Amino acid sequence: TTQSTLHGYWNTTGVTVASGYGLGASQLNYPWDVAIDSNNYIYVADYNNCRIQRWLVGNATGVTVAGNTSFCGSTEAQLSRPTSVVVQSSGVLYISDFGNSRIQRWTNGASSGTTVATNIVSYGVYVDNSGTIYASDWNSHQVLRWPNSGGITNVIIAGGNGQGSASHQLSYPR
């Protein structure tokens, strides 16, 4: 084992969770992000398969919990190039749906999601304990915040002053 100054200890011998390139239940096609919940389920934003795949550690096969395998689309039941996934303790997923320029919220076991933010080309999303959503907007060079009240109105919390390297600017935040 090795100690990290930020996260404690981990085993330095890795365990393969997904086995290869493809669209099968045990495969991924350009995995972009990973999240782990309190039950040790691993969630993967499977970019080119347009889905979120979930594994229980030790299982050889994953389950699609959001989107459709290798079928990108723009309906509430579909994803297009997911780049980020966050899982809350309740099992609710928040997904950066890059190809559809939106952030989606999927409740545990749902067959479709709800769009909680639009017109955002995001590579990263985060949700705090109060349900406030934070997301990067790659095209607009900013980071936005949406209150947990469910409104679509956002607040710029970083950047938003064009692309650049000045203290009040960002450049393609992820």
User: Which CATH number characterizes residue 53's domain?
Assistant: 2.120.10.30
- Does a structural domain hold residue 131? no
Q: Can you tell me the distance from the alpha carbon of 11 to that of 34, in angstroms, rounded to the nearest whole number?
A: 18
Q: Looking at the domain assignment, is residue 125 inside a domain?
A: no
pTM: 0.86
Which pLDDT score is estimated for 100? 97
Does residue 78 sit within a domain?
Answer: yes
Task: Name the more confident of 12 and 89.
Answer: 89
Q: What percent of the chain has pLDDT over 70?
A: 91
Better pLDDT: 18 or 96: 96
Per-residue pLDDT for 127 more than 90?
Answer: yes
State the residue range of the domain holding 90. 2-120
Measured at the CA of 99, the angle between CA 136 and CA 37, to 5 degrees, comes to 60
The label of the residue with tokens 């999927």 reads 106
Contact call for residues 158 and 149 (beta carbons, < 8 A): no
Residue 158 lies in a domain: no
Higher pLDDT, 53 or 157: 53
Report helix, strand or coil for 49.
Answer: helix
Residue 148 lies in a domain: no
Counting the structural domains of the chain, the total is 1
Asked, for residue 155, whether it belongs to a domain, the answer is no
